[in-house]
A = this chain, B = another copy of it.
Amino acid sequence: MIYLDHAATTRVRAEVRRAMAPALDSVFGNPSSAHAGGRAARALVDAARDQVAAALGARAREIVFTGGGSEADNLALRGVAQAQGERPGHLVVSAIEHEAVLETARALTDAGWALTVLPVDGAGRVDPAALAPALRKDTALVSVMLASNEVGTVQPVAELARVTREHSRALFHTDATQALGKVPIDVAALGVDLLTLSAHKVYGPKGVGALYVRRGVALRPQVTGGGQERTRRSGTENVPGIVGLGVAATLAAAEQASEQPRQRALCDRLRALVLAGVPSALATGAEGAGRLGNFATFAFPDVPGDLLLVRLDQAGVLASAGSACASGSVAPSHVLLAMGLPPTVAAGGLRCTVGRETTEAEIDRAAAAVVEAVRALRAPVPA
């Protein structure tokens, strides 16, 4: 098996599993318990909060642990919107956001919120010049992801956040789920007010994420109860998961500079091999540093993406059409369509995302499998 779907999820790395083990066994207390068993668990949560904060250049108090990236996105959008008071306002998101942002923004329109969806260019990049005219007096939040989960395009978030600050009173949220460990992240340099993280994209466990909430940002909690996470997210803390996120985020940030050039070289090799083998193929997304180093994405005109994936799966190459979250859907990717690809091309999308264990030999075998599968799907059907 050649696993080229690291943007969908990753295997929990050994360092993370080892760190989680005590919290699944001896340090099993409820962090809210005042006794020794509770305090030991609380210490693990505190240490993980420090780790996540350090990975982002944030303060520990600004980190809210959640049940995952989608919950963090929902908390950012719903929490900011509902904290604005009775009267619905205006939101701005990009056309290529993850469903957890797009669907949540659409759900808020049911409650009377106005929504502007920013377009992207052919590389999947939001144009900062398009943002200023979209901002209104009642814009409460702008949400643009740090890097696309479908084509890996890095967005000009620092610039978008600056435009937002200069032209409105809106807060700025970015979903950094795909970007963590791939590009440097510093919340102050980015100038964002809220930032979403997920553990399982960076070799941490599923079921845990975090939302950075800049000090002073008003946020309505979405899960109420015992008042954990400084009342911003109630529920007994997922101690093993939080410990895993802390270690995974630390390692992702620490290894980014050394690991990403290697992964980028693998992806450049994959792109070159596939484009050489299938001359009509398009490499989607941005070029060079405009794209996360672990993404190699394609569109094959007149090739059904779902059948391509089945063939690759049979050949032992695990990849995806777009985001895993939207799999099962037969519609072409909303991201590729927003980038201006015709539906017949967007329907033939392929996302290959490499990881820390991916080797050059795997890339060569995967490229051959892709080329062979595309050729087979295009071969004339025998009469």
Contact = CB atoms under 8 A, between A and B. Distances in A.
Contact of A319 (B8, B25, B35, B235): B35
A49 B323 CA distance: 24
A222 B222 contact: yes
B222 A5 contact: no
B238 A318 contact: no
A207 B325 contact: no
Interface in A311-349: 312-313, 318-320, 323-328
B8 A225 contact: no
A378 interface: no
Q: Which of A38, A235, A324 has the most CB of B within 10 A?
A: A235
A281 B242 CA distance: 40
B8 A238 contact: no
Interface residues of A, number: 73
A294 interface: no
A176 B168 CA distance: 47
A11 interface: yes
A36 interface: yes
B206 A324 contact: no
A235 B36 contact: no
Interface in A242-260: none
Interface string A113-139: 000000000000000000000000000
Contact of A70 (B207, B236, B240): B236
B234 A100 contact: yes
Contact of A227 (B99, B207, B234, B237): B99
